[in-house]
Structure 1
Amino acid sequence: MYLKAVEINGFKSFGEKVYIDFNRGITSIVGPNGSGKSNILDAVLWVLGEQSYKNIRAKESQDVIFSGGKEKKAATKAEVSLIIDNSDRYLDFDNDIVKITRRIHITGENEYLINDSKSRLKEIGTLFLDTGIGKTAYSVIGQGKVERIINSSPKEIKNIIEEAAGIKKLQANRLEAQKNLGNIEVNLDKVEFILNETRENKNKIEKQAELAQKYIDLKDEKSSLVKGIFITELEQKKKNLVENEDIKVKSEEECSILQEKFDKTLNRLTTIDLEKEEVKKQKILIDSRNKELKDVISTKETEQAVTRERLDNFKKDKLLKEEYSLHLENKIEKKLEEINTLIAKKEELSKNILEMEAANKEFERKINELEAIKVEKTDLIESRNKKIRDLELEKQLSSNEIENNERKLKSSLDEVESLKKELDETTKKELANNEEKDLLNSQIEAKQEELIKTEERNEFLVNQLSEISKTINKLSQDIREYEYQEKTSSGKLEALIRMEENNEGFFKSVKEVLNSGISGIDGVLISLIKFDDKLAKAIEAAVSGNLQDIIVEDKEVAKKCIAFLTERKLGRASFLALDTIKVSRREFKGNMPGVLGLAADLVSAEDKYKKVVDFVFGGLLIVENIDVATDILNKNLFAGNIVTVNGELVSSRGRITGGENQKSSINQIFERKKEIKVLEEKVSNLKSKIVEESKRREDLSIKLENYENEIDKIDSLEDSIRKKMELLKKDFENLSEKSERISKELRNIKFNIDDAEKYKTSYQDKINSSVSNIEEIEKHINSLRKDLEADELTLKETLANIDELNKQFSDTRIIFLNNKNSIEQYERDIISKENENSDLKEEKEKNSNVVMELSQNIEELEKNEEQLQKEIEEHIKIYNSENRDIEVLNERENNLSNEERELSKDKSKLETDLLHSNDRLEKIIEVIEKIKTDIENINEKLTELTDVTAKAVEVEKLKSSKDYLRSLENKINNFGDVNLLAINEFKELKEKYDYLARERDDVVKSRKQVMDLIQEIDERIHEDFHTTYENINENFNKMCEETIRNTEGRLNIINPEDFDNCGIEIFIKFKNKKKQPLSLLSGGEKSMVAIAFIMAIFMYKPSPFTFLDEIEAALDEKNTKNLLAKLRDFTDKSQFILITHNKETMKESDSIFGVTMNKEIGISKIVSPDKIIKILDSNKESN
């Protein structure tokens, strides 16, 4: 197996997709600092499941996603894949190529894939178990990890040895087996508890089953006797049936004769009814015709009345319309008179307007002449004003030009003075430059001292990081142990709580009632009270019969529960109804040592159940021992029962009960409650410890992070000092350039002074010219203003003339305009009146048409009224004729009624005789039917008793047999409540008990198997570990001799008797020197010891591929060559990928590629080795 390639996309500085091929042997990754070489190693650690972002040089998950750069957007996800050649099936995966992928989105969501199929981190970890490959294994040695190995705790060194021993999978199996063992222990406790409960229930139900069997035997005897009685009674019933059948025949003959006479009478009565019905039909027919005639007459009369009413209405309407026509004629005449009046007024006003029109035209002519003069003068004034404004503007421009020239002249003089001052200042600047040089030298010396201090602080922080890391690892181990204990205890606690919630341990009847869902059940007494654990034996001994009493809201709820138990035959239970119990509390007024107090005071419950507590415990005193109890009894200090804390019970009458109880269901419930309480306290304590240790670990982690941050700051500070020194040099160069600029500025100043003198004369000439121009402009303006005053005077006189004309002609013009308006109004009024007159004529014509229509309607209605009168008289004649036929039919109906009365009397007598005869026959039939029913019932009962053997019963002994039957029934009734299900229940409980016993045996067997498996795994772990340890110890000593001259190296197990908590220390002893701690070794020596240790592991179990990040950084050239030679020895078993700056390493590599970074956009790229070497050389030359 070897690593074929790594694919990186969007991870840290690899903003673009990169595919890196790897060959077998040694591969070097080179590139300048900050190019992103170590990000490849971080990517490998990350894809192998690293969860601590600090270990891959990041603060949070988003830090591993490419953050973007110049004209390059940030990535939305990061993805890394390892492509592994697995053709030798080194990994337990049936494929030649294995691709491991990890992907993280900007939202923080992680995905793991194996060959592009979704997977879990656990599956990836399992795949690489015991291979030396993993996030914490020895196959990835990052920057600083070499030294951290040396500074690792003994426990961490042991973990590395365990990885090499390949026992991680065994440890995982052991942990899984231990979890299974914990579950088995919980299941075994549960099975034992249920088995004990089932045994108790089986023993109790066994007696009920025996009683039920006796009950069934008596029932069988009763059934046999009942069948014999039924057979004898059946024979008697059959004899009675034959006798009653003969009587029935005679009664039927008598009934037949009476029935014949009755039928004849009934037939005649029927005929009479038919004749009477015919008469009624004729009468109804005539009545119907008369009714129709009457309705017709009524309708005609109604129609006649309506016609008359309409006739009257039409006559009234005609009269009104005629009156309205006269009214319209009068209005039309008035309108004509109004129109003529308006026309006369209009003609008179027209004459007046013609007379005034000539005067109005003369007025308008004069006004127009004056207005023309007004417009002319106004335009001339505006023109002169505009000319004055233009001259004023020109004057202002000349003044501004004078000011500008004066300002320029002054500016030239000021500039000369300014340049002279600048010359003095430049000289001063040159002196200041020399002083600044001296200051720069002192600053460089100060920065060098600061650099030494930061290096010392850096070394201190690195040592602190090592110590804190050891402490954090120890805390993590303790937390894991506490978490395991808490999980085990919580699992057991949850099982016990579930048993309590499921009412395990209670009597079956109690459990069924609690699970019935009946409203008003508060619970079982034992579940609703609390007391000290030491009182458990006393309470169990004194009131064990009451502890499973069910507390209910009232007696109605108790009745429902009892009915529920009775209906389902589930057994018996006791109930304490809160509304019915009577409390009788006894008080102990003595004051004796050894008396704990009344049980009612020592047992607590909710206020709601205080009455129940007093009811059950109010007559019970709890004392320390039997001597105190008997002493109280002898002195008559307490009238109730007394119980000791050990369970000895002394009754109020002197009976003493004691001994050791076997494990009862109550005892088991008490034990369960006690265990729940202990487990709750244990779980709470463990959780507190976990929180405390986690807080301590978190504080140390923050401290560790602060130190790491400080190291980062120190590194930044060193870079800053160097950069500042470079800046100081650049500042010196800038000062020299500044001197040259000052000389150039002096030359420019002299030239500018000469130039300013030339401009002075030019500016003075321009000022004189502008003054002459201003004087000419002012003369022109004065002339224009005189003309303007004359024009304004003329305009004022014209306006006054216009006002005077308007005043003179204003009244005449108003009259003229009013008359014109009045003529227009008269014209409108004339048109309106003519329209109204036209409407009135049209209305008059319509009204005349309506009068004509009304006259026609009146004539038609008068004809209709005459016709209706004739029809009414004809119908009245027909109606009188029909009434005479009805009188004849009434006489026929009376005769038939008389005959019907006589026949009805005869019918009543015959009916009575027939009824009595039928009653006798029916009674006989009822007797026969009853006998038949009895026979049928007896046969049905005998059918039910088919499987029962009948006991012979003679007719003479029938009564005595029935008496004996009643005695049997009494015996059966005296059994009371018999649980007939007890037999089957006993059988089921026995089967359940046997099954549970087998289950317990199986669980015990499983427990032994798991314990044996754990022991076997432990032995295998110890054996493999010690074998690996001995080999690596030997290899380590050999490597120390080879790589570090004159040294001995060995590994030593600390606390070997406690394998799980033991550790391994690394010891180094230079020949001819005393043994010294590793912390006193130089950086190079530490690196060589760490490399020797790593190579010792590789000699025993090489990893298929290994990443080494600048592992030779602290080594000299000779040791580097030795290291590379050792790595070359392992290339047939392992593949090495080295991140390096060392040219010796590059020379020995089988393949090499470079990493560089575009600083503008911050993206790392893979480049050819030639190009990367050029980049490295150019960096060295610039430094």
Structure 2
Amino acid sequence: MFLKNLDIFGFKSFADRTRVDFADGITALLGPNGCGKSNVVDAIKWVLGEQASRAMRAEKMEDVIFNGTENRKALNVAEVALTIENESGRLPMDVAEIQIKRRLYRSGESEYFINSTPVKLKEIRELFWDTGVGKAAYSVMEQGKIDQVLSSKPDERRYLFEEAAGITRFKVKSAEAERKLAKTEENMRQVEGILGEVKRSYDSLKVQADKTLKYRSLREEIFQFELDIQLLRLKQFKYERDERNENLKRRTEERDTIRSDIDAVSKSLEENMDVVNSMEETLIQYQKDIYGLAVEKNAREKEARLFAEQRADTKAAIQQNESRERAIGIKIEELTEDAEEQDGVVRDLQKKVHDIEANITGFEESVQAAASRIGENDSGVRQSEEEIRNLEKERGDHEKALEAITDDIVAALDAGLREAGYSAAERRSTEASLEETLGFLRTLLAGRETLLRDLAAAAERSAAGDQLPSSAELKRIAEGLAAALGDAAAYGDKVLALFESYRKSTPSFIDEFLAPEGIITKKRSLDTNIRAANEGITGRRSRIAGLRQDNENLNIKIDEYRATLEELRIGRARMTAQAQAAEEQSKLIRRELAGQEGLLKTVQDELFLGRKRFDEINERIADTESELAEIEQKGLRLTADLEKLEKDISKKNGDVAGKQETIKKRTADLAKVQATLERIHLELVQSETEIKNIQDNFRETHSRDLMEFEERIFTITTPAAELRDSLSQARNKLKDLGSVNLMAPEEFAETKERYEFLSSQMADLTKARDDLEAITKEIKQESSDLFIATYNKIKKNFHNMFRRLFGGGKAELRLVDPNHVLESGIEIYAQPPGKKLENITLLSGGEKSMTAVALLFATYMVKPSPFCLLDEIDAALDEQNVIRFVQLLREFGSTSQFIVITHNKKTVTGAETLLGVTMEESGITKVISVKLKNEELAVTPEPDKDTPLFEEEDVEPEEGRELPIGINDPALVSEAELRPIRAGAARSVPAADNESH
């Protein structure tokens, strides 16, 4: 695998589409400072996924897009495509060539492609895992990065060793497993919270369900006991009814016999006994009525006692149902209050969720507004930059015009002065003469001031009448004034002559320069325009700085908004879960409330039926008592009539005593039999009534027909007394249960199903957490083993390579925390020949560079990167160290592809291909490729046959003696591999087998 070519368009200084073709071995990238050499390295890092704008030497990532020059417009897109040869299959794709492409627009939108297929940045990074290639791997070594590797903290040096150890993939997997573990634990906490709520409902409903099932069981037992008791009673009454029917049949036959006898005796007395017979018939009828009344009275009294018992039972049932009704009413009130309270909690939580969603919407709108404002600011920045360019162009035009007009002013001034014959010495002489003459004139006139004052004083005296001036005095004054005026006129003529001479010596063309339409005015106008352009540029630059500062503040606010949004979304999820749990709890309360209301309805129905039956029983008792009173009154009347009739019969039958005695005896027998028949009839009616009452009462009590269970009569073996005791105990147990939620078993079944589902989920999450912890532990253990193995190899190779590059000395790697190798930093200690072992921060610049080179190639001996970019890492090396560096490059050049950016001639002579970077047009980078055919580009003399290439072993040198530089350990390099080296051929150390290094 190696770099095949690099296509760049719109990236930094690459305004035109540019292709850079790479060759095997060593390629030198040459060019003057500022031509864009490092932009090639930046392009490779950028296409491999670099996200830090500072690493691209830019303030923001959009700055990597070509921003234009004086003659070129800015571009709106930057694109870099890297083609990699993959015939060896080192990258996990079954293709011979892989093209990685990245594209960035000024809008901030970024795209990634692998073989023209859109992908995510993560896929590109995963493609190069553990290959030594990447934006932060050791395949890219820059001059500043060397100092970073050597001068950074020990913890920050680990990436070289981790990449070489091939544990980057494991670190990512471990981080992903830890994220999943944290998410799983969060899910477990949520499920555990919900499970706790469901568990409480589960426990409560389980108790209620058990109580309800016990209630149902007791109800069923009571029903069975009552059924058996009623069936036994029914069986008894049916048995009595059957016996009474048999007895009735026998007694009827006996009565018929007696009647036959009486009819035979009475036949002879028919004629004389019509009245007697009539009276006897009346007597018999009275007797029948009396007996019937007695039987009916007994039946009514028994019925009254039965009704009294039923009334007592019904009253007890009514009192029990009233107690249950009161208890259920209290329970319903409590559940109603709980339901309303829970509904309030649900409403509060839903309102909180609504408020959070409103806040989320507000923050999202704020983010969008801030982003829109950033876009507007960017547009303002671009507009201001365009205006600045226009103003700079306008200023340049004005400056050119000003330069031209300045030259015109100088030329016109020289020509005017020559034409006017202007002489500075003559002008100064004329000015001095004029000044002197004016001074004399001023002195002359000042001296004659006294004459005018004398004349004025004389005039005052004359006006006052004191004394008139004399003629001689007036003449003297007049002559003095005349002489003064004459001298003044002469000096005035001289001043005029001198002024004329001064005027001629002063150039007149100056007025043309200073005129409003003159050349000086034009210059002032240009100066004003240039000043205005400068002020406009300054103002717009200030506006750009303000807009950019505003964008930075807006980006900070957007980050704050997004962080707040994340917290709000987490809060919304938490509140939603709480609202759902509260709503579920409200539903459970409502279900229990519905069950209690149903139970209340059942109790009220039973209470209504009981009260109705109680009233009916009272009515029946009243009717029975009224009938008993009527029967007693009727019986008293019939008894009185019977006694009277018997006396009459006895009186009238005195004459037929014999036959009447016989008839009386038989009649007495008939009466006894008839009474027995009436009693049997009454008992039979009572049995039928009891049977009917039993069936009716059972139907009213249980809403079922007792005859459905008729076959059960023959299977009952328990005595009735024992059944009544069991029934009483069951009723007491039922009463002790108190109020019961009749819907509890069904609700418990639903809650149990949900509880078992959540429990299974909790078990699955627990298993997933344990699996993730085991995976994380396994990954860390494997990573630790790989890291330690690689670290030990690099440590040994680093010491050997250091001794080779420095011609002796000692280098050492140390783990800061050997007990935690996956987090431990790595200290580097170096001891150049003749010095003490010290930390690398105390080394010189050249020693640091050579130490970094030793570390880089020590890493390559363990796991070489397919290609490597070296950006001026030889800048701090002297000539001898450069020779050693190039020799190492040539040795490793057959296993890795090196692209070296350098200014050193020695390094260039070791390259097989040259890439020239230039700027034919200002600000535009171009690349020229040159393939060198000369294979004799040795930069160092061939090694001596007896001089080994590497050290033999890692031991401390004895005092005053250095270790030999060689490699005789067969575990490192075989004899067959040493022969060409000893023969003088420049070859590389094998890197395919990592274990051999």
Q: Name the TM tier (shorter chain).
A: 0.3 to 0.5
**More RCO (CA 8 Å, sep 6+):** 1
TM-score (norm 1): 0.39
TM-score (norm 2): 0.46
